[in-house]
C-alpha cells in the first residue's frame, strides 16, 4: 500500500509536494516579487548577487495560510516561526548546511525559475536531488537533513521559505519568534536576520534561566 505524505515525511524525513502553491497564488506572488525587486530593492538585503528578506508581509501571509496544509502533509501540529524569500541570480550557490532550531519543519517553495536548479538532500551517504517546478515545495526536517544547491547557471530563481516548529516539541519556544517585526531594514542593516536571531535566543535563555 502506498504511503501517505505524512508517513513519507516520518520515514524519509522529507516529502516533496507538487502544486503546494495554487496557480492563482503562484501567479500573484511571482508578479508581486518581480515588481518589488524591480522598483524597491532597498527593502531587501543583498547577499552576493542575490536579494533576500525575512518577515516580508506576503511571505508571512503564505506561512500562515499554508499552516493547516503543512500540518496535513506532515501529520504534526505546528507553530509558525518565520518566512524568508530570496531571489537568486546566475552564479549563486546554496552552501551545504543544516537549519537552525526555528526551522524544525522547513518548507522550500519555488516561485519563479528561469532554469532548473535541483535542491540536494543529504541523508546519510545518500544524496537526493529534487527538481521543483514553480509552485512545488519540499517539506523537510531542516535540523536533520543537510541540504545544498550547486552554482546556479540560470538567470533567476525565486525561492520562498516558510518554517514551523512542533507544538509541545523541543523547539516550541521558537514559535512566532520573528513575528511583528520584519528583519529587513530599508534604511539600515544594523540588525540583520542573524543578529536579530541571536538577540532573540539570548532573551529567551535569560527569561528561562530566571524562571528556574
Q: What is the pLDDT of residues 21-34, one digit of tens each?
A: 999 999 999 998 88
For the chain, count helices (H), then strands (E): 4, 11
Q: Which domains does the chain have, with CATH numbers?
A: 5-182 (2.60.120.620)
Q: What is the pLDDT confidence band of residue 206, given thresholds at 50, 70 and 90?
A: low
Question: Which of 5, 87, 7, 91 is closest to 53 using CA atoms?
Answer: 87
pLDDT in tens, 80-121: 999 999 989 899 999 999 999 999 999 999 999 999 999 999
Query: How would you class 181 by CB atoms within 10 Å of its CB: exposed for 0-12, middle for 13-18, buried for 19 or more?
Result: exposed
Q: Cell 532550531 maps to which residue?
A: 101
Within 13 A of 26's CA, how many CA atoms are on the CB side? Answer: 18
0.85 surpassed by pTM: no
Given a cut of 70, is residue 200 above it in pLDDT?
no
CA distance 12 to 42: 40
- The confidence score (pLDDT) of residue 176 equals 83
Q: What percent of the chain has pLDDT over 90?
A: 63
CA distances to 69, 102, 161, 162, 190 from 176, in Å:
18, 9, 15, 12, 22
**Phi and psi torsions of 119, nearest 5°:** -100, 120
- The confidence score (pLDDT) of residue 208 equals 57
Amino acid at each position: 500500500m502506498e504511503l501517505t505524505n505524512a508517513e513519507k515525511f516520518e520515514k524519509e524525513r522529507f516529502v516533496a509536494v507538487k502544486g503546494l502553491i495554487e496557480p492563482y497564488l503562484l501567479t500573484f506572488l511571482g508578479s508581486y516579487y518581480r515588481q518589488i525587486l524591480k522598483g524597491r530593492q532597498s527593502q531587501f538585503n543583498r547577499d552576493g548577487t542575490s536579494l533576500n528578506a525575512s518577515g516580508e508581509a506576503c511571505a508571512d501571509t503564505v506561512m500562515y495560510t499554508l499552516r493547516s496544509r503543512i500540518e496535513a502533509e506532515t501529520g504534526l501540529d505546528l507553530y509558525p516561526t518565520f518566512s524568508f524569500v530570496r531571489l537568486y541570480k546566475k552564479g549563486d550557490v546554496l552552501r551545504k548546511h543544516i537549519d537552525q532550531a526555528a526551522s524544525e519543519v522547513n518548507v522550500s517553495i519555488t516561485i519563479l525559475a528561469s532554469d532548473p536548479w535541483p535542491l540536494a538532500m543529504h541523508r546519510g551517504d545518500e544524496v537526493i536531488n529534487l527538481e521543483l517546478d514553480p509552485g512545488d515545495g519540499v517539506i523537510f526536517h531542516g535540523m536533520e537533513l543537510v541540504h545544498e544547491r550547486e552554482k546556479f547557471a540560470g538567470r533567476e530563481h525565486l525561492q520562498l521559505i516558510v518554517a514551523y516548529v512542533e507544538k509541545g516539541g523541543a523547539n516550541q519556544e521558537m514559535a512566532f519568534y520573528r513575528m511583528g517585526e520584519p528583519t529587513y531594514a530599508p534604511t539600515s542593516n544594523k540588525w540583520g536576520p542573524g543578529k536579530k536571531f541571536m538577540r532573540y535566543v539570548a532573551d529567551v535563555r535569560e527569561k528561562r534561566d530566571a524562571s528556574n
